[in-house]
Amino acid sequence: MRRFREVMEDSELEKIPPDLAAWGYHRKLVEHELGYSHWVRYGQDLIFWLSRIGLTPNGNFHICARPGREFQPSSRRVFTCVEITAEYLGFERLFALTQVAQLGDYLERLGWSRYELGYTKALGDE
């Protein structure tokens, strides 16, 4: 059964960069990104992480999944977890810096708005 798990132990954090590289993530992690981001695995074939933007209540959202996985990384369950995790961390708004059309279309269906670098969403209920 696939479950969400926070990644906090150094031994588990050290496995993240090789997984991202093997799965074809489009960039290397920046210096200290492992330390200042909040990391979550969904099973052994999806990772998402949230990084606070400076001293603001806003965060960047990143996601990577193993190619050939047996589920869609853009499932409603995954994005519900992303939003709840971000709220729990005190974020008021998330930004996804993507130009991938399929992901963007899905984000818009989930209530995200397009902006010049990708997509954004205010968090919380009114």
Global pTM reads 0.90
Closest listed residue to residue 38, CA positions, set 3, 94, 77, 89: 89
Q: What is the pLDDT of residue 74?
A: 63
- 22-to-19, 28, 65, 126 alpha-carbon distances in Å: 5, 11, 10, 41
- 64-to-37, 47, 56, 76 alpha-carbon distances in Å: 14, 5, 25, 16
Let me know the angle formed at the C-alpha of 81 by 80 and 84, rounded to the nearest 5 degrees: 85
Q: Where are the alpha helices (DSSP H) in 14-113?
A: 16-22, 33-36, 76-88, 101-109
26 pLDDT higher than 70 = yes
Distance from C-alpha of 97 to C-alpha of 86, rounded to nearest angstrom: 16
Q: What is the pLDDT of residue 101?
A: 73
Q: What is the pLDDT of residue 120?
A: 95
Domains defined for the chain, CATH in brackets: 4-122 (3.40.630.30)
